[in-house]
Copies of this chain bind each other. A is one copy, B any other.
Amino acid sequence: MGYKNMKAAILTVGTEILFGQIENTNASYLSRELNNLGIDVMYHNTVGDNLNRLTDNLLHLLKECDLIITTGGLGPTRDDITKEGVSIAINKPMVLNGDVKIWLENRFKKTGRNITENNYRQCYFPEGADIMLNDNGTAPGMINTINYNDESRYLITLPGPPREMKPMFQRDVIPFIKSLSDEHIVYEFVRTSGIGESLLESKIMDLVDEQTDPTIATYVTYGEVYLRITSKRRTAKEAHDSVTKMIEILKSRIGRYIYYVGNKNIEEIVIEKLKEKNLTVSSSESCTGGMFGETITKYPGSSEVFQTSLVTYSNESKANILGVSKKTLDSYGAVSEETAGEMAIGTNTVSKSPICVSVTGIAGPGGGSSDKPVGTVCFGIYYRGRLNTYKKLFKGDRNSIRKQSVLWMFRYIYEVLGEKDEK
């Protein structure tokens, strides 16, 4: 069976999500991963730790979806009911898996903890399930293949904690899903700069409408517009050729707006380029309050390229730490290209990083004025003795303005890194 038109659902099990205590990041992670495998996600559902509602939900989703992935509810306690729910929904009794029992006992032995009666619940699975052992916890996952009206359906359960769920998905679920298909999927992102979504769509509307393979999808996040070109073909080469050909056509249409073609996001691209060139970056931040530093340091290994961020939220700290002159602050204000420029140069003086980027702006909700409305953000970038400053007006709420600001900091770094090296 190919999975060209496979329909998927993600079912999250956990009362803590329904309380709003934690965001459902598992659902968005799995959605992105399934998308990359060419599979459409039709539903995200969340139910609490309640056997009836879980079972009903599974039965409902099985009617429409070829693939259901659950996360959560696999722990040892009585309110962990995902496996029982699956057992009822697919009408297979729970049976002890001897291999898992040995694995679990060894796991406990190794860490010097005593296994409790409760933990043995983790050794029972619906009959016929394929077990996925857990490298980062005690709850194994499973893959259930079901015959449903003479079609195959797949019900996969994964643990809830992301650090257990993600490695299991990568190691076991992706190869399993790929094995279902005799098709090959290739995709690439085309990232643009300086063009709005509607203008971009109007320039390539005919391509989007005409194409069945490769497909072209438009995405917008925090002001960045990008395209995803996806091909599913019988061979990897055919799929790759189809994507490459379309990218050439796109370059001829909107080439001047394209700044990157590939599968990475702007942070990864910048970190990679900095590593290549053996350069470090430092930043000074005002309205973003540390979000640039926090964003770059999300990536393990960023320590090679990131030196420091000086979060100068107050005017005093801009003056004392970065040496922004009182005159500049008084005449132009904290949110000005002049201040941003002095911040970037001051960052260089303090950090000695070859690339220094600064940001100062009005993220709202208060603080705006008629000539500097909420959303006004100024940037400076200092590299090889040259300073550039910029001013932008972003739309959105405080969080969105801050995120857009950080995105643009990465873009400015990307831009100067792309400049031809001088002798």
**Those of A278-308 within 8 Å (CB) of chain B:** 280, 282, 285, 287-298, 300-303, 306-308
Per-residue 0/1 for A384-405: is the Cβ within 8 Å of any B Cβ (1 yes, 0 no)?
0000000000001111100000
Cross-chain contact B298 with A307 (CB below 8 angstroms): no
Judged by a CB distance under 8 angstroms, whether A376 is at the interface is no
A27 to chain B, nearest CB (A): 7
Judged by a CB distance under 8 angstroms, whether A111 is at the interface is no
Using A289-B297, A290-B292, A397-B162 as known contacts, say yes or no to A31 and B42 having CB atoms under 8 A apart. no
Using A20-B31, A289-B293 as known contacts, say yes or no to A310 and B313 having CB atoms under 8 A apart. no
Judged by a CB distance under 8 angstroms, whether A46 is at the interface is yes
A17 to B28, CA, bound (A): 7
Judged by a CB distance under 8 angstroms, whether A352 is at the interface is yes
A294 to B286, CA, bound (A): 10
Copies in the complex: 2
Which residue of B161, B219, B289, B297 contacts A21 across the interface (Cβ within 8 Å)?
Answer: B219
A320 to B45, CA, bound (A): 51
**Those of A299-345 within 8 Å (CB) of chain B:** 300-303, 306-314, 316-317, 320-321
Cross-chain contact A22 with B28 (CB below 8 angstroms): yes
Judged by a CB distance under 8 angstroms, whether A364 is at the interface is yes
Cross-chain contact A366 with B290 (CB below 8 angstroms): no
Interface residues on A, range: 35 or more
Chain B residue at minimal CB-CB distance from A318: B308
**Those of A182-239 within 8 Å (CB) of chain B:** 219, 221
A346 to chain B, nearest CB (A): 12
Cross-chain contact B310 with A308 (CB below 8 angstroms): yes
A303 to B362, CA, bound (A): 12
Per-residue 0/1 for A32-47: is the Cβ within 8 Å of any B Cβ (1 yes, 0 no)?
1101000011111111
Chain B residue at minimal CB-CB distance from A30: B20
A221 to B23, CA, bound (A): 11
Cross-chain contact A316 with B320 (CB below 8 angstroms): no
List, in ascending order, chain B residues with CB within 8 A of A19's CB: 31-32, 35, 41, 219
Chain B residue at minimal CB-CB distance from A313: B306
A92 to B37, CA, bound (A): 41
Chain B residue at minimal CB-CB distance from A64: B53
Using A290-B290, A290-B294 as known contacts, say yes or no to A44 and B45 having CB atoms under 8 A apart. yes
Chain B residue at minimal CB-CB distance from A309: B311
Chain B residue at minimal CB-CB distance from A47: B43
Cross-chain contact B290 with A351 (CB below 8 angstroms): no
Judged by a CB distance under 8 angstroms, whether A97 is at the interface is no
Judged by a CB distance under 8 angstroms, whether A350 is at the interface is yes
Judged by a CB distance under 8 angstroms, whether A115 is at the interface is no
Cross-chain contact B42 with A47 (CB below 8 angstroms): yes
A397 to B26, CA, bound (A): 14
List, in ascending order, chain B residues with CB within 8 A of A288's CB: 294, 297
A400 to B22, CA, bound (A): 12
Judged by a CB distance under 8 angstroms, whether A149 is at the interface is no
Chain B residue at minimal CB-CB distance from A406: B294
Using A44-B18, A293-B313 as known contacts, say yes or no to A28 and B23 having CB atoms under 8 A apart. yes
Chain B residue at minimal CB-CB distance from A166: B397
Cross-chain contact B31 with A18 (CB below 8 angstroms): yes
Judged by a CB distance under 8 angstroms, whether A75 is at the interface is no
List, in ascending order, chain B residues with CB within 8 A of A296's CB: 289
Cross-chain contact B32 with A28 (CB below 8 angstroms): no
Taking A19-B219, A45-B45, A290-B311 as known contacts, 10 extra A-B pairs with beta carbons closer than 8 A to each other, sorted by chain A number, are A27-B46, A289-B294, A289-B296, A293-B313, A297-B313, A300-B398, A301-B366, A307-B316, A320-B351, A321-B351
Could you pull out 10 A-B pairs where Cβ atoms are within 8 angstroms?
Answer: A18-B31, A23-B23, A60-B60, A289-B306, A290-B292, A290-B297, A300-B365, A308-B314, A309-B313, A321-B351
